[in-house]
């Protein structure tokens, strides 16, 4: 009687990190972030809403640019509103030392995706801010 060999994937070396597996912690999806790290998302969103309440010229496009810069997908911006929000996000990051860099980065990406989902990112559009504002005190 011939026996079948077990699949090779069961015996792969767990210490080897493949190119598609790098930095797995930063690849948390929106659903997992919302479920497991709601406090991080709330910190980020509350700060964005607070800044937008203080400065009515902050719209969804400004938030999108800011988040992309903080994530590292975009070059720094000369807009003082963007710099202010980036600096404030950095300040919150310093307060949240209990959160790993990967989770913080995933939180920023999740909020950025949410901005894109709820807004057309047209100048002056505040659809995302109107969506998230009722959830922020």
Residues 81 and 67: their CA atoms lie apart, in Å, by: 12
Q: Per the domain annotation, does 130 fall within a domain?
A: yes
Interatomic CA distance for residues 107 and 104, integer angstroms: 5
Condensed to tens digits (0 to 9), the pLDDT of residues 95-134 reads: 999 999 999 999 999 999 999 999 999 999 999 999 999 9
Q: Is residue 17 part of a domain?
A: no
Q: Residue 75: which domain range?
A: 28-135
Which pLDDT score is estimated for 23?
A: 46
Q: Give the chain's domain count.
A: 1
Q: Any idea which of 10-14, 48-52, 99-103, 122-126 has the lowest mean pLDDT? A: 10-14
Enter the tokens of residue 37.
């790290």
Rounded CA separation 102/25 (Å) = 5
Distance (Å) of CA 120 to CA 51, 69, 115, 125, 127 = 20, 19, 9, 7, 8
What does the block give as tokens for 87?
A: 């600096």
């Amino acid at each position: 009687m011939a026996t079948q060999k077990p699949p090779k994937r069961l015996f792969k070396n767990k210490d080897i990190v493949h190119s598609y597996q790098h930095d797995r912690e930063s690849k948390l999806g929106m659903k997992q972030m919302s479920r497991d790290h709601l406090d991080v998302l709330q910190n980020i969103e509350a700060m964005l809403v607070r800044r937008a309440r203080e400065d009515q010229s902050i719209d969804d496009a400004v938030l999108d640019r800011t988040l992309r810069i903080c994530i590292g997908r975009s070059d720094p911006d000369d807009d003082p509103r963007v710099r202010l929000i980036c600096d404030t996000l950095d300040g919150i990051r310093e307060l949240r030392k209990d959160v790993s860099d990967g989770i913080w980065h995933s939180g920023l990406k999740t909020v950025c995706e949410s901005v894109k989902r709820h807004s057309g990112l047209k100048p002056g559009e505040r659809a995302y801010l109107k969506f998230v504002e009722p959830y922020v005190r």
